[in-house]
Amino acid sequence: METVLYHTISEVKEKVREWKRAGLTIGLVPTMGALHIGHASLMKAAREKCDRVVASVFVNPIQFGPNEDFDKYPRTLEADVKLAGECGVDVVFAPSPKEMYGEGIKLSNDLLTYVCPPFDYVDKLCGKSRPGHFDGVCTVVNKLFNIASPDFAFFGEKDAQQLIIIKKMVKDLNMNLEIVPCPIVREEDGLAVSSRNTYLSAEARKKAPTVYKALCEVRNLISKGVDNREILLDSALNVLDKDIELEYLEFVNISDLSISSKVTLKNLIVIAVKLDGVRLIDNIFPKG
């Protein structure tokens, strides 16, 4: 079937109503576009599991801070639709900010209904350096769920805090869908694939794989019984390229993002760094 590109909410809702009437299951893959093989893995997983697949492409203004990269975020809609088509996506939904939030709306919670995750989930990791980010994420994801009425929604483990927060939102608000987590897709040298990798200079790109190497080193030490945070942190700093600035390296409980007092292999190991002015995140989920 041909991939259709819709820009309006009403077009998607109409199509979804038609699918629902026919008793078809719907999978949703929310993205900000600049699609790559990481996104492709989510779209293919959705294609496998669901009768119909919607992928949204929307650079969501309300999840960006005032000094973040909203304006320069890569926008490649034509190529995105092509890749979505190759992955068997039925509908690409690419709304404008105006379509999603209305004309001239001041994007603050003075005027817009927000969905805000619990403080304990956002006062750490990426939430610490990006205040309001997860409010913006949960709000747009909630809107996309209401627009596409998916039975399944696919999210990457790459954005671990986001995935855990969205699962929490779905549970707390009794939403009628299942979240399907998808493993991180990496480049051959281990760097987690990301739309933001395109910001890296050729020089910085060579240094970036040390982020994953540091995570692997830390996991290796934990598997040997090392549970001292300082030792683990030092070992990560030894592996990270010296031009990489560490924002955080943490060991959290996967169920509720609480920081683990005793580090074990059951913890999610999460890292955020700055390289060449580019913020990169990565993690290793516990096995099993």
Nearer to ligand AMP, 191 or 240 (CB): 191
Residues numbered 75-94 forming contacts with ligand AMP, rule: CB under 6 A: none
Q: Identify which of 186, 161, 173 has the alpha carbon closest to the alpha carbon of residue 256.
A: 161
The binder of ligand AMP chosen from 90, 135, 156, 275 (CB under 6 A): 156
Per-residue contact flags (x/-) with ligand AMP for residues 10 to 39, judged by CB under 6 A: ---------------------xx-----xx
The backbone region for 184, taken as left when phi is positive above 0, alpha when psi lies in -120 to 50, beta otherwise, is beta
Min separation Cβ 278 and ligand AMP, Å: 14
What are residue 57's DSSP bridge partners? 31
Residue 195 touches ligand AMP, criterion: CB under 6 A: yes
Give the Cα separation of 109 and 276 in Å (integer). Answer: 33
Q: Check binding of 194 to ligand AMP (CB under 6 A).
A: yes
Q: Which residue has the tokens 């996991």?
A: 219
Phi, psi at 31, each rounded to 5°: -145, 170
Is residue 59 close enough to count as binding ligand AMP by CB under 6 A?
no
Nearer to ligand AMP, 36 or 232 (CB): 36
**SS3 state of residue 160:** helix
Candidates 28, 184, 191, 240: give the one binding ligand AMP (CB under 6 A): 184
Q: Report DSSP state, residue 259.
A: B
Q: Which residue is nearest to ligand AMP (CB)?
A: 156
| CB nearer to ligand AMP: pick between 135 and 159 | 159
In the residue annotation, 133 being an active-site residue is answered as no
Q: Pick the stretch among 11-19, 141-149, 188-196, 238-246 that binds ligand AMP (CB under 6 A).
A: 188-196
**Contact range with ligand AMP by CB under 6 A, out of 96-104, 142-150, 151-159, 250-258:** 151-159
Q: What is the dihedral of CA 103, 106, 107, 108, to 10 degrees?
A: -150
By CB under 6 A, residue 45 contacts ligand AMP: no
- Using DSSP's 3-state secondary structure scheme, residue 33 falls into coil
Strand order of the β-sheet with 245-252 is 245-252, 268-275, 278-284
Of 158, 205, 207, 279, which lies in the binding site for ligand AMP, with binding defined by CB under 6 A? 158
- The catalytic residue among 7, 36, 39, 133 is 39
| 20 and 151 Cβ atoms separated by less than 8 Å | no
Per DSSP, which regions of the chain are E strands?
4-6, 26-31, 52-57, 91-93, 152-156, 178-182, 245-252, 268-275, 278-284
- Residue in 101, 155, 199, 212 binding ligand AMP, rule: CB under 6 A: 155
Using CB under 6 A, list all residues that contact ligand AMP: 31-32, 38-39, 41-42, 155-156, 158-159, 182, 184-185, 192-195
Return the active site residues.
39
